[in-house]
Structure 1
Amino acid sequence: MVRRRKDGPVVQADDVETDWAALVLRVRDHQDKAAFAALFRHFAPRVKAFLMKSGADATLAEECAQDVMATLWQKANLFDPARASVATWVFTIARNRRIDALRKARRPEPEELPWGPEPEPDQAEALESQQETDRLGAALAQLPDKQRALIERAFYGDLSHSEIAAETGLPLGTIKSRIRLALDRLRQQMS
């Protein structure tokens, strides 16, 4: 039914006279499929148009509109006519679905994680790694005791220079100098 307002524009009667809140309450209270169908006919195309105007392509807009209407059916109990109109509620859901879709599109794909046991290391690599560890141990043993103790606290104890200074009572500058000298000696012996 089409009605003409006094000021002239043509308006669909169902847009003016339909109590959308009452229809949502019928969906909420009675799972009324006819009420939902009326809501769907009215809001689904408007939601799709809204989403397309906000930059979604037709396929995404259609999927989001379907999701919004499914949410209306499933969560009609969350609608409070005292807080917002049905249109405000529906378009808020649509806006949130659009934001979720944008976030999902921008989210990087997780890297593939290997399943199953780790492959056995190559024997040559394992031997080389063990030899390197042995050389490092021998180089550490040749350091003066004061330098070796600081290196062990810094790297094996995972302490910062400030924490080592607090533990030992040595000045921070002394800690840094000894560690720097020890690292220089280790580099020379390992190369």
Structure 2
Amino acid sequence: MVEMRRPTESDATPSMAALLVAVGARRDVEAFEALFRHFAPRVKAYMARLAGDSHLAEELMQETMVAVWNKADRFDPAKGAASTWIFTIARNLRIDAFRRDNRPDFDPNDPAFVQDDVAPADEMFESQEVSAQLHLAMASLPEEQVALLKLAFFEDRSHSAIATSLNMPLGTVKSRLRLAFAKLRAALDRNGDAS
């Protein structure tokens, strides 16, 4: 006599791979719920064992299951089991979280990131030399041109504001500034050639 086997619950349940394919192909919510009920506790236990933190394990399980929902169309049952695919996602998310958590914080006071308060000696020397040349060149200008240069560049006034404050025509202010620049340039060129 042949023994009749009673159908079990697993006979009526589709395989995990079939459920995953259904989620990927049709965004089947019922299939995803079945996958979630089966894999969520297992993924959480896996994460808790690796991370040693139940809160982090819960977060990583949620991220894993969201990724399963979003990437289910990439699952190929010919390449591997559904469990392998899901746990690979979980492992990769755990590695990303580990890297993110162990990345050193930026310290703005780290000497490598703080600019030196003092310029290098060669830059300071060059700056002092240029400043001395500029003072010599300005000393060779008539006082009215020096006054215009100081108003325009040291006080950052516009040409029209200078004309108004000195009660001069705007064209006169512009032409005197142009003349002062030409004389400064010539004096700086002479001083630069002499050194």
TM-score by length of 2: 0.50
Identical-residue share of aligned pairs (%): 45
Residue equivalent to 1:70: 66
What is the aligned counterpart of 1:31 among 27, 30, 44? 27
- Which residue type is aligned with residue 22 of structure 1? A
1:134 Cα deviation from its structure 2 partner: 5.9
User: Is 2:129 the counterpart of 1:133?
Assistant: no
In structure 1, stretches of 5+ residues that fail to align are 1-11, 113-121, 138-191
The change in CA–CA distance for 1:105 and 1:133 in structure 2 (over 3 A counts) is: same
Kindly name which structure, 1 or 2, has the bigger radius of gyration based on alpha carbons.
2
Give the CA deviation at 1:108: 1.7
- Cα 1:134–1:105 change in 2 (3 A) is closer
Say if 1:83 and 1:102 are closer, same or farther in 2 by CA, change over 3 A.
Answer: same
Q: Which amino acid aligns with 1:66?
A: Q
| Pair 103,14 (structure 1): closer, same or farther in 2 beyond 3 Å | farther
Aligned with residue 98 of structure 1, among 88, 94, 115: 94
- Give the Cα–Cα distance (whole angstroms) in 2 for the partners of residues 69 and 131 of structure 1: 61
2-side partners of 1:15 and 1:106: how far apart? 46
- Cα deviation for residue 15 of structure 1 reads 10
Deviations 1:12-40 (A, max 9, x none): 94599540111111111111101000100
- List aligned pairs for 1:80-159, cutoff 5 A: 80-110=76-106, 132-133=125-126
Question: Structure 2: which amino acid aligns with 1:87?
Answer: S
Question: How many Å separate the matches in 2 of 1:84 and 1:130?
Answer: 65
Instruction: Provide the C-alpha distance between the structure 1 equivalents of 2:57 and 2:43, rounded to a whole number of angstroms.
Output: 8
2:18 equivalent in structure 1: 22
Q: Distance in 2 between matches of 1:80 and 1:86?
A: 9
Deviations 1:124-159 (A, max 9, x none): x89x9976336799xxxxxxxxxxxxxxxxxxxxxx
The 1:45/1:132 distance shift into structure 2, 3 A limit, reads same
* SS of structure 2 residue aligned to 1:75: helix
Which letter does structure 2 place at the counterpart of 1:77?
D
Label 1:136 to 1:20 Cα distance change in 2 as closer, same or farther (>3 A): same
Q: Give the whole-Å Cα distance in 2 for the aligned partners of 1:89 and 1:70.
A: 14
Instruction: Read off the aligned partner of 1:133 and give its amino acid letter.
Output: E
User: Structure 1 residues 97 and 15 mapped into 2: Cα distance closer, same or farther (>3 Å)?
Assistant: farther
- The alpha carbon displacement at 1:56 in A equals 3.7
Cα root mean square deviation, aligned:
3.3
AA at the equivalent of 2:57: A
1:33-68 deviation per Cα after TM superposition (whole angstroms, max 9, x unaligned): 010001001101100000111134111111110011
